[in-house]
Amino acid sequence: MLDLKGFVGRHRGALSGIGMILAVVLIFWTVNNPALVGASASSRQLPVYSVQRDEKVVALSFDAAWGNEDTQTLIDILNKYQINATFFVVGDWVDKYPESVKALADNGNEVMNHSSTHAHFSQLSSEEIVADITACNEKIAAVTGVTPTLFRCPYGEYDDHVISSVTSMGMTAVQWDVDSLDWKGISAQEIQGRVLDKVQPGSIVLFHNAADNTPEALPGIIESLIADGYKIVPISQILLSGKTMIDNTGRQCPVK
């Protein structure tokens, strides 16, 4: 008959080591199991980074917060290819350049909300967030006649209470899954390479209206996307209708 007590006593060190190894393996499996990670992350409030689309469709977006050097040039480029984009504008920018805001809308582009003053929203209360977004909505609507339905967080910063505040207004918070990094002053060739390497069906691409080399990079990007079979649309046309959910990567997906 096996002397279990004696066996454990003689092999206590080895068993302890095995136990530690099994504990480490269990922790590693738990942390890296996609189902468990997804279940944990699903409780977070996320903006839309991209959209699950089977067809080749992509949305180009531009943030306008400070300068206005290239806005008309960007409009002209978009018009040349008969496409439209989404421009997220700051309320202060609307005050400075109402003629550009009107030109964007008159040429068929979406003018959406990028906050009133480009504040750090995670430092604001829900009431302050709603008031800030409302102020920007009113400025845009006064110029374009259309109240925005989409919002992009200043600096791309957000937490649960920021997204919940946006959603409570009946608006959709939108990020991006392809960052051109044009704001860094990189070359037109580098901007093109970043976008075309990363874009996929349902992507939302981020540009800025006053970046140094975006006007030079944009035609090549548009031509390459069209040649590859992509349809370029404003963000509101790439978002899904009906019942949807946002997965733990920020991808908007249909609920079947």
Give the position of tokens 């350049």.
97
Backbone φ and ψ of 139, nearest 5°: -65, -45
Which tokens hold the place of 114?
């990028």
**Does 208 qualify as catalytic in the annotation?**
yes
Residues 128 and 121: their CA atoms lie apart, in Å, by 9
Q: Which of 63, 177, 182, 212 is catalytic?
A: 63
Q: Which of 177, 182, 208, 212 is catalytic?
A: 208
Count of residues for the chain?
256
Lay out the sheet containing 251-254: strands in order across. Answer: 50-51, 251-254, 244-246
50-51/251-254 β-pairing: parallel
Nearest of 134, 66, 133, 131 to residue 100 by alpha carbon: 66
* Enzyme catalytic residues: 63, 208
